[in-house]
Structure formats: structure tokens, C-alpha cells
A and B are shown apart, each in its own frame.
With several copies, the nearest count.
Chain A
Amino acid sequence: MKARVHVTLKSGVLDPQGKAIEHALGSLGFSGVGHVRQGKVIELDLVETDRAKAEASVDAMCKKLLANTVIENYAIELEG
């Protein structure tokens, strides 16, 4: 099974990268671009085939390592 974890900054948390990209797009002449945010995606190949178990295990990975839950949210997507 494949898992995809999307890690995004909690709303209200400053996103310096997003801000800089927003600005750079502006100077490159792209107009009409509002708020830009940057997040991470982590893709994992799992041996586990049981969906519920996979989800629980990836959730534990997120809490322990993949996301910094003080400032980040995460969402898990399973495939296959």
C-alpha cells in the first residue's frame, strides 16, 4: 500500500517560504496571485495491506516524526 502525507502549516502560522514565493511570482510579472502557502508531501511505500492498520501506523509516524504538530497539520491519503 502507498501512503501520502500532506503536511501544511496551521492557519495563522507565518509561512516565510510562501510569502517569498508570492513576492517572487509578482516580480516575475505573474499578476492575480493571492496568498501562497508551501507545504510538504511525504510518500511512503508500506508493506501493510490492511487499510485501518496502515492508517493507524502512518498516523503514529506523523505524530512522532513527519509533522511538527505544534505548528503543522497533516492529512493522510492511502492508495492501493
Chain B
Amino acid sequence: MRSAVIVFPGSNCDRDIAVALQQITGGPVHMVWHKETHLPDVDFIALPGGFSYGDYLRSGAMAARSPIMREVVSRASDGGPTLGVCNGFQVLTETGLLPGALMRNADLHFVCRDVGLRVENADSIFTNAYKAGQEITIPVAHHDGNYFADSETLDRLEGEGRVAFRYLDNPNGSARDIAGILNTKGNVLGMMPHPERLIEPAQSGFGGGTDGRRLFESLLNALVTA
């Protein structure tokens, strides 16, 4: 499985997700600079976490208008598997690939901690290694993770099974405890929690789980075995 990680100025989880992809999928990972206009031939695109453009103006806004995003949008619209984590999720909503917006956390504080999630949809290419309804732990680290969309959109997301993950204990005020959502075709996932930060025991201080790993294993199942 070949992956591309898009690097924006201010991305800071680009290496983390590249390491996770390399370690778990075993395939090559291309780091693609935002000023590029072409994507390499890959099976999967990741938009990493971080503070692209310092989160200035609106988080994800300037990155969403980078040259490479035209190409990302076109591949994703054609069904190309695309994941946005944290800032990557913000970028995806800013491009319109995913509905809604990520507002400032309700208590206005940046929040970094392990959070409990419920896997709401375990059928997607991103979540097939989890069980539906499974409760997992993955860390969040963000200032703008408060998911907002109008109620029709929220109803539609829920009705179509496009809520991938929900917070068990909402850390940011997100509407309907939403932590991650899929697009209509199910090939684009945006999520605030960082699966790449919990893929081996050391990252929990050897006292917790490695629940982030399954997400990358799901991709491997879907994109390689299929």
C-alpha cells in the first residue's frame, strides 16, 4: 500500500503519521509539499495534524487553498481513500469534501488527553478492524475541534451512518459528540483524535492500549487484501 502525506507549512504531525503508515502498512510513504501540483501514484492520501499556517484566520483555511489541494480534492472526489486527522480534518471541511466546520473548543482551551471513543461505523475502509460499538481510547490535541453543522446535516450524517467515531466524554463541545465523519462515498474520513499517536505500547507509557493501530490495519485490509 502506497501512501502520500501532504506537508503544509506548519504541519507538525506529518512525520508521526508517516511513521505509523510505514510501520503498519509496510509500503512506501511519499511526503508531498503543498506547493506541488501533482500527486504521486498512491493508494492513500493523509492530511496530517498540526497548525498549518499557524491556524491563523481559521484553522485549515489557508492550507485548503494550497496548490496540491486541487489534486487532492479531485482524487478524493473520484473515490480516492483520504484521511484527515485533526488539522487535516479542518482542511477537509474547509475544502468542502466534508460538511460542517470545526469551531473553537467550547471551553476555549487547547485540550490534549486520551479520550474514549465509540466506533459507530465499523464497515468503512478506515474502521473495519474495529467492532461496531467498540469503545476505544485515542488521544486528542486541538484547540478547534468543536464540530458544528446544521441539524439537517447532522441528521443526514447520522442517518447515512457517516458518523465514524463519537466521544464518550465530549472534550470540546462537538455537536452530537461527533469525533469523526465520513463523506457520502465513505472514502474520506476526517477525525479530530490522533490514531497515529497510539500505535505501540510505549506511546501509552506501557500502561494503556494501542487502539490507533487498528485504523491503519483497517486500511491495509481494505486497500491491499481487497
Q: Is there any pair of Cβ atoms, one from A and one from B, under 8 angstroms apart in the complex? A: yes
Chain B interface residues (CB < 8 Å from chain A): 53-54, 56-58, 61-62, 65, 93-94, 96, 99-101, 103-108, 146, 148, 150, 173, 175
Count A interface residues, CB 8 Å: 18
CB within 8 A of A70: which of B53, B100, B105, B175? B100
Chain A interface residues (CB < 8 Å from chain B): 12-17, 19-21, 24, 28, 38, 64-66, 68, 70-71
Beta-carbon contact of A16 and B101 below 8 Å: no
Beta-carbon contact of B65 and A28 below 8 Å: yes
Main secondary structure of the interface of B (DSSP, over half): loop
Residue in chain B with minimal CB distance to A28: B65
Contacts of B100 in A (CB 8 A): 70
Nearest CB on A from B34, distance (A): 10
Q: A13-B148, A14-B148, A24-B62 are in contact. Are A65 and B57 (CB under 8 A)?
A: yes
Contacts of A65 in B (CB 8 A): 57, 61-62, 65
Nearest CB on B from A40, distance (A): 8
Nearest CB on B from A8, distance (A): 13
CB within 8 A of A24: which of B65, B103, B104, B106? B65
Residue in chain B with minimal CB distance to A40: B57
Q: A68-B94, A70-B100, A70-B101 are in contact. Are A16 and B62 (CB under 8 A)?
A: no
Contacts of B99 in A (CB 8 A): 70
Nearest CB on B from A21, distance (A): 6
What would 20 more interface pairs be, CB under 8 Å, given A14-B175, A16-B56, A65-B65? A14-B103, A16-B104, A16-B105, A16-B107, A16-B108, A17-B54, A17-B56, A17-B57, A19-B106, A20-B108, A21-B57, A21-B62, A24-B62, A24-B65, A65-B61, A65-B62, A68-B61, A68-B101, A70-B101, A71-B148
Contacts of B105 in A (CB 8 A): 16
CB within 8 A of A16: which of B58, B65, B93, B103? B103
Contacts of A21 in B (CB 8 A): 56-57, 62
